[in-house]
């Protein structure tokens, strides 16, 4: 007889604790999925074992017994330790953490293997000769892998410097030592390109893939291949960090600066932090890379927490692209009302004549940013969220980008009855329409979330671009990250200012990164590329330094500001969001928690707790939101976390008409 402490697979916060059961199966172990009777009706529920003992901790009058064990699912002890750490770090439920590690879908009833990449041939190319810089960067990584040391590296290399080749050589060293590799990429759009390279080098049988665009059945079968030891390399977006390996030697975080590594759903984990936690137990190597590292990551490399490895030159020795800023205020003054400046038009014409491909980047989808009445100024807004609707010409509808609400644009103003309804602002649809009018002979295509709703759409578009069938690719940040196409001679940034106006201390950092990354898509072949950046704020330091591709000057300016304001990396931020269908109840809950948090802290700590405010996006999906921000000074995060966790435990006992979510170091304050 064994006694097991389990977390029940149940969504309610009221059951977020460990329950003790008896178990007649002596083979039961930590991480096992079991089925147990639960609740008043003893309905059978799934549960996960966190502790196994031979003796109960206390006497139970009515001890219940586990009904059976799951034959397929048994997580490792390291995974269960990580789940406990996630609960403490992100203040989530036990089961929320466990669900990150368990497979979606179920076994195929027909016994058919669902492997989405089993027939992939990959890029069959000979491994290139490493440059001197690549050799120098690779040496300490391979040494750490060989010695089974837990080390952390930042591979800081300009765009096109050959970071991916360093990743693959490090992975090869890890496989040589019979250990496993997880390769994380920030966007699913990049997954196929990376998969093709890894399959070409290591073979399709060695690689599994985990990301949200796979069907539940495909994800289940890929999870089982990993769990059963059939593969040693996993490639995917952030959720691939939860791959059920039992001996991880290396986790690679490509484009480590990207916000997509931070989950926006519960549990709101940071992929890099989870990777580091897992690698500590496995004594593995953490390798993150970027041409524009997150300010906090570069700071850690300055402090020696990460060892920084630098690649200062492009692999092909071609110079970085020529970058030019265009002041759109002058364009307007001189009579050009088009969204394409004269300079960009001329550069596009020249590139097409030379048979070069073009990428145009604008981080805003749709046709127009908002619909407004010229007579009274009324703006068409979402009835559930209260934000302006974006007009999508292709769909012929005004759509809310937060809740999906849509309606036909009115012919007359609903406020004043005027017929002067106009569309303002620019999105990728409008750019595509303008480009088609200016260059009717060129093949232009759009790559954004609206254009890739069907499974496989991203791969089809990128494959067509790779083969030269698309001459002008227009897109959002999907086209600005990590793509490697040799014939791109020109990149145009339609508006460098879009991300500058977001209410977030990271806005300059994101602007710098997006511009630099988009610019890095040009000139990756044999010829030097050209980049045209259109802006209304050419003197902004994020824009001007991105044009110069001067990361270190940007870092110095930004870290001084962070130090003065005590923003990360000089603190941890904790955001509490209170939601309710009733605005007054959301506000009351926020202020009640504020008082309780302050009461639980000392006088000095109270100063770092800010009075609750209505969220910038106060209403989403007919739900009102208030937020409270806590700025935890370095070394004091645990005290604030403990205070919040204690209040959560107390509050969950009461009947509530609001919900509260906790986000540690959020990447969005909207």
**Within 10 Å of residue 589's Cβ, how many Cβ atoms?**
24
Q: In what order do the strands lie in the sheet with 307-311?
A: 207-210, 233-236, 180-184, 248-254, 285-290, 152-157, 307-311
Q: How far apart are CA 424 and CA 411, in angstroms?
A: 16
Q: Do 453 and 387 belong to one domain?
A: no
| Number of domains comprising the chain | 5
Under the banding of pLDDT at 50, 70 and 90, the label for residue 182 is very high
Average pLDDT over residues 498-504: 79
Under the banding of pLDDT at 50, 70 and 90, the label for residue 619 is confident
Average pLDDT over residues 37-55: 94
| Model confidence at 497: pLDDT above 80 | yes
Q: In what order do the strands lie in the sheet with 32-38?
A: 18-23, 2-8, 43-53, 32-38, 68-74
Of 423, 420, 388, 393, which is closest to residue 405 (Cα–Cα)? 388
Angle at the Cα of 207 from the Cα atoms of 138 and 242, rounded to 5 degrees: 85
Q: How far apart are CA 184 and CA 274, in angstroms?
A: 12
| Model confidence at 149: pLDDT above 90 | yes
Average pLDDT over residues 237-265: 95
CATH number at residue 87: 3.40.1440.60
**Ranked by mean pLDDT, which of 514-518, 527-531, 591-595 comes out on top?**
591-595
Query: Are 445 and 473 within 8 A, CB to CB?
Result: yes
Q: Do 463 and 401 belong to one domain?
A: no
Structure confidence at residue 38 (pLDDT): 95
Of 535, 186, 364, 75, which is closest to residue 544 (Cα–Cα)? 535
Q: Do 545 and 657 belong to one domain?
A: no
Angle between helices 163-176 and 188-202 (to 10 degrees): 50
Q: Do 246 and 338 belong to one domain?
A: no
pLDDT in tens, 56-80: 888 888 899 999 999 889 999 999 9
Q: Which H helix or E strand runs over 179?
A: none
Q: Which residue range(s) make up the domain with 412?
A: 366-426
Residue 18 domain-assigned?
Answer: yes
What is 210-232 written as a DSSP string? E-TTS-HHHHHHHHHHHHTTS-S
Angle between helices 342-353 and 428-438 (to 10 degrees): 60
Q: How far apart are CA 84 and CA 4, in angstroms?
A: 16
Q: Do 357 and 479 belong to one domain?
A: yes
| Model confidence at 502: pLDDT above 80 | no
Q: Do 418 and 431 belong to one domain?
A: no
Q: In which residue are the tokens 């005290």 written?
A: 639
Residue 630 domain-assigned?
Answer: yes
As a whole number, the mean pLDDT across the chain is 91
* Residue 440 structure tokens: 């009717």
Query: Could you tell me if residue 610 is left (phi over 0), alpha (psi between -120 and 50 degrees) or otherwise beta?
Result: beta
Chain centroid, CA 491 distance in Å? 24
Cβ-proximal residues to 109 (8 Å cutoff; 6+ apart), any chain? none
Q: Do 204 and 287 belong to one domain?
A: yes
Q: How far apart are CA 79 and CA 76, in angstroms?
A: 5
CATH number at residue 603: 3.30.70.600
Q: Among 2-16, 36-50, 106-120, which is the least confidently predicted range?
A: 106-120
| Model confidence at 518: pLDDT above 80 | yes
Structure confidence at residue 45 (pLDDT): 96
Q: How far apart are CA 261 and CA 237, in angstroms?
A: 8
Residue 545 domain-assigned?
Answer: yes
Q: How far apart are CA 198 and CA 83, in angstroms?
A: 30
Q: Do 88 and 179 belong to one domain?
A: no
Q: Do 338 and 479 belong to one domain?
A: yes
Structure confidence at residue 280 (pLDDT): 97
Q: Do 618 and 533 belong to one domain?
A: no
Residue 616 domain-assigned?
Answer: yes
> In the chain, what percentage of residues exceed pLDDT 70?
99
| Model confidence at 410: pLDDT above 80 | yes
Residue 120 domain-assigned?
Answer: no
Average pLDDT over residues 134-153: 97
Domain boundary among 523, 543, 561: 561
Under the banding of pLDDT at 50, 70 and 90, the label for residue 320 is confident
Cβ-proximal residues to 313 (8 Å cutoff; 6+ apart), any chain? 131, 133, 158, 161
| Model confidence at 166: pLDDT above 90 | yes
Of 360, 500, 498, 479, which is closest to residue 431 (Cα–Cα)? 360
Structure confidence at residue 453 (pLDDT): 72
Average pLDDT over residues 440-448: 93
Domain boundary among 561, 594, 624: 561
Domain boundary among 516, 540, 561: 561
Alpha-helix runs per DSSP H in 361-412: none
- SS3 label, residue 406: strand
pLDDT in tens, 459-493: 888 889 989 999 999 998 878 766 778 899 999 99
Query: Are 213 and 239 within 8 A, CB to CB?
Result: no
Residue with the bigger pLDDT between 123 and 383: it is 383
| Model confidence at 121: pLDDT above 80 | no
Q: Do 161 and 93 belong to one domain?
A: no
Q: Dihedral through CA 323, CA 328, CA 333, CA 338, nearest 10? A: 110
CATH number at residue 345: 3.40.50.300
Q: In which residue are the tokens 């031979």 written?
A: 54
Residue 166 domain-assigned?
Answer: yes
Structure confidence at residue 647 (pLDDT): 92
DSSP assigned state of 205: G
pLDDT in tens, 595-606: 999 999 988 888
Under the banding of pLDDT at 50, 70 and 90, the label for residue 655 is low
* Residue 418 structure tokens: 């005027």
Across the strands, what pairs with 343?
none
Q: Do 296 and 438 belong to one domain?
A: no
Q: Which H helix or E strand runs over 32?
A: strand 32-38
Average pLDDT over residues 220-236: 94
Q: How far apart are CA 590 and CA 658, in angstroms?
A: 10
- Maximum alpha-carbon separation in the chain: 86
Structure confidence at residue 653 (pLDDT): 67
Residue 113 domain-assigned?
Answer: no
Under the banding of pLDDT at 50, 70 and 90, the label for residue 338 is very high
Strands 623-633 and 613-620 come out as antiparallel
Q: First vs last Cα of the chain: how many Å apart?
A: 52
How does 474-499 read in b/e, with b if 16+ C-beta sit within 10 Å? bbbbbbbbbbbbebbbbbbbbbbbbb
Structure confidence at residue 126 (pLDDT): 84
Q: Among 6-10, 138-142, 194-198, which is the least confidently predicted range?
A: 194-198
Structure confidence at residue 63 (pLDDT): 92
Q: Which H helix or E strand runs over 54?
A: none
Residue 119 domain-assigned?
Answer: no
């Amino acid at each position: 007889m064994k006694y097991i402490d389990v977390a029940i697979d149940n969504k309610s916060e009221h059951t977020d604790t460990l329950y003790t059961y008896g178990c007649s199966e002596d083979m039961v172990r930590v991480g096992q999925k079991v089925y147990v009777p639960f609740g008043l009706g003893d309905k059978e529920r799934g549960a996960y074992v966190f502790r196994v003992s031979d003796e109960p901790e206390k006497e139970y009058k009515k001890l219940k017994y586990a009904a059976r064990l799951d034959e397929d699912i048994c997580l490792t002890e390291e995974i269960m330790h990580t789940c406990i750490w996630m609960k403490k770090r992100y203040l989530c439920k036990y089961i929320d953490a466990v669900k990150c590690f368990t497979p979606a879908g179920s076994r195929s009833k027909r016994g058919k293997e669902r492997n989405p990449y089993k027939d992939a041939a990959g890029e069959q190319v000979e491994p290139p000769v490493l440059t001197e810089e690549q050799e120098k960067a690779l040496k300490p990584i391979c040494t750490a892998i060989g010695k089974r040391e837990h080390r952390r590296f930042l591979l800081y290399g300009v765009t096109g410097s050959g970071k991916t080749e360093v990743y693959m050589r490090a992975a090869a060293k890890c496989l040589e030592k019979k250990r496993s590799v997880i390769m994380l990429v920030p966007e699913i759009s990049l997954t196929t390109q990376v998969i093709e390279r890894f399959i070409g080098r290591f073979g399709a049988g060695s690689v599994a893939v985990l990301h949200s665009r796979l069907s539940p059945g495909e994800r289940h079968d890929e999870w089982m291949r990993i769990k059963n030891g059939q593969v040693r390399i996993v490639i995917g977006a952030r959720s691939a960090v939860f791959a059920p390996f039992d001996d991880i030697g290396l986790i690679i975080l490509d484009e480590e600066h990207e916000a997509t590594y931070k989950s926006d759903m519960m549990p709101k984990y940071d992929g890099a932090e989870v990777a580091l936690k897992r690698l500590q137990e496995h004594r593995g190597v953490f390798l993150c890379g970027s041409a524009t590292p997150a300010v906090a990551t570069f700071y850690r490399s300055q402090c020696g927490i990460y060892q920084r490895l630098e690649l200062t030159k492009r692999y092909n020795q071609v110079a970085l692209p020529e970058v030019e800023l265009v002041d759109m205020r002058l364009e307007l003054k001189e009579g050009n009302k088009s969204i394409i400046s004269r300079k960009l038009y001329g550069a596009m014409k020249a590139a097409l004549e030379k048979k070069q491909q073009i990428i145009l980047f604008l981080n805003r989808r749709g046709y127009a940013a908002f619909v407004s009445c010229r007579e009274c100024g009324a703006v068409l807004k979402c009835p559930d969220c209260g934000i302006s609707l974006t007009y999508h010409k292709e769909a012929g509808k005004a759509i809310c980008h937060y809740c999906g609400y849509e309606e036909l644009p009115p012919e007359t103003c609903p406020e004043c009855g005027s017929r002067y309804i106009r569309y303002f602002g620019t999105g990728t649809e409008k750019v595509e329409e303008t480009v088609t009018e200016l260059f009717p002979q060129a093949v232009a295509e759009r790559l954004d979330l609206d254009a890739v709703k069907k499974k496989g759409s991203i791969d089809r578009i990128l494959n067509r671009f790779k083969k030269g069938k698309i001459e002008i690719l227009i897109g959002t940040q999907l086209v600005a990250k990590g793509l490697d196409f040799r014939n791109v001679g020109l990149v145009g940034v339609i508006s460098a200012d879009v991300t500058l106006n977001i209410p977030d201390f990271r806005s300059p950092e994101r602007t710098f990164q997006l511009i630099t990354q988009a610019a890095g898509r040009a000139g990756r072949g044999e010829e030097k590329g050209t980049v045209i950046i259109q802006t209304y704020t050419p003197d902004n330091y994020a824009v001007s330094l991105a044009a110069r591709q001067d990361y270190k000057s940007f870092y110095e300016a930004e870290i001084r500001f962070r130090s003065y304001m005590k923003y990360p990396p000089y603190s941890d931020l904790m955001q509490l969001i209170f939601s309710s269908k009733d605005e007054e109840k959301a506000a009351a809950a926020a202020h009640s928690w504020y008082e309780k948090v302050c009461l639980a802290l000392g006088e000095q700590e109270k100063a770092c707790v800010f009075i609750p405010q209505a969220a910038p996006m106060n209403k989403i999906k007919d739900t009102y939101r208030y937020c409270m921000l806590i700025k935890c000074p370095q070394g004091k995060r645990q005290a604030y976390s403990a205070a919040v966790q204690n209040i959560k435990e107390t509050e969950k006992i009461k009947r509530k008409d609001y919900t509260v979510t906790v986000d540690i170091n959020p990447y969005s304050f909207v």
